[in-house]
């Protein structure tokens, strides 16, 4: 009895139309080039490392903010004329530093290990406190100049005027120290970056090309 049932099931299965099952071919994964990404990002711009572009903003903004801070700290009328431009400029400087260092860290991970590159990265990490000092002092100088210009801090006598002199002197000294320190730090970073990029990238003797006379 069981054999008859099995034979009947086998006959029915044999009568069913057969379907050919083919395994889908896996799609070939495309290996992207390390620099092949979006046209513009915080690490790559137009197919090139964005760090080499962002450093130009830092090189311009830090000395410019330092100069504006010193002028406004020594010349309150200049701070009133610049107005909110001073703290906004310092804020842009502050924001440009971590963006540049982030792009630099990405670039460091995509080039060979080198002591000069590591030295450049270490110096770059030390610029943020200087940029923060520029912003804080710029904000303080702008706020003080605005209050003094509106009359709320205008001295009513010689005692009040004498009391305001030490504040201006301290602000001017701090501005000079932070401005000088930030500019020197930018120079050190740029010098180390140039050495890391070009220390073995050129010939010390002139290269003669075949088409030279």
* pLDDT for 39: 47
DSSP collapsed to 3 states, the chain: CHHHHHHHHHHHHHHCCCCCCCCCCCCCCCCCCCCCCCCECCCEECCEECHHHHHHHHHHHHHHHHHHHHHHHHCHHHHHHHCCHHHHHHHHHHHHHHHHHHHHHHHHHCCCCCHHHHHHHHHHHCHHHHHHHHHHHHHHHHHHHHHHHHCCCCCCCHHHHHHHHHHHHHHHHHHHHHHHHHHHHHHHHHHHHHHHHHCCCCCCCCCCCCCCC
CA 121 centroid distance within chain: 12
Domain ranges of the chain: 44-154+162-198
**Angle 186-123-125 from CA coordinates, rounded to 5°:** 100
Q: What is the pLDDT along the chain (213 residues), one digit of tens a residue?
A: 544 544 555 555 455 555 443 444 444 443 444 444 444 568 888 888 899 899 999 999 999 999 999 999 998 888 889 999 999 999 999 999 999 999 999 988 888 778 889 999 999 999 999 999 999 999 999 988 876 655 554 545 444 444 467 778 888 999 999 999 999 999 999 999 999 888 776 667 777 666 655
Six-digit token pair at 91?
A: 């804020």
Structure pTM? 0.71
* pLDDT for 203: 67
pLDDT digits (tens, 9 = 90+) for 106-140: 988 888 778 889 999 999 999 999 999 999 999 99
Express as a percent the part of the chain with pLDDT over 70: 68
- What is the rounded distance in angstroms from the CA atom of residue 199 to the CA atom of residue 128? 26
Cα distance between the two ends of the chain: 105
């Amino acid at each position: 009895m069981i054999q008859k049932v099995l034979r009947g099931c086998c006959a029915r299965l044999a009568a069913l139309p057969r379907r050919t099952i083919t395994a889908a071919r896996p799609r070939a994964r495309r290996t992207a080039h390390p620099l092949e990404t979006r046209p513009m990002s915080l690490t790559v711009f137009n197919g090139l490392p964005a760090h080499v572009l962002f450093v130009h903003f830092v090189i311009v903004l830090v000395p410019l903010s330092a100069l504006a801070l010193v002028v406004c700290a020594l010349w309150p009328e200049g701070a009133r004329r610049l107005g909110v431009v001073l703290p906004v400029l310092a804020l842009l400087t502050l924001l440009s530093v971590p963006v540049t260092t982030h792009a630099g860290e990405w670039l460091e991970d995509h080039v060979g290990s080198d002591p000069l590159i590591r030295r450049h990265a270490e110096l770059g990490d030390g610029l943020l406190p200087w940029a923060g000092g520029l912003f804080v002092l710029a904000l303080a100088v702008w706020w003080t100049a605005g209050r003094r210009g509106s009359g709320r801090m205008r001295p009513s006598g010689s005692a009040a005027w004498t009391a305001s002199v030490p504040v201006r002197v301290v602000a001017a000294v701090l501005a000079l120290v932070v401005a000088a320190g930030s500019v020197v730090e930018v120079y050190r970073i740029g010098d180390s970056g140039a050495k890391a990029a070009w220390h073995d990238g050129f010939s010390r003797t002139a290269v003669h090309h075949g088409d030279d006379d």
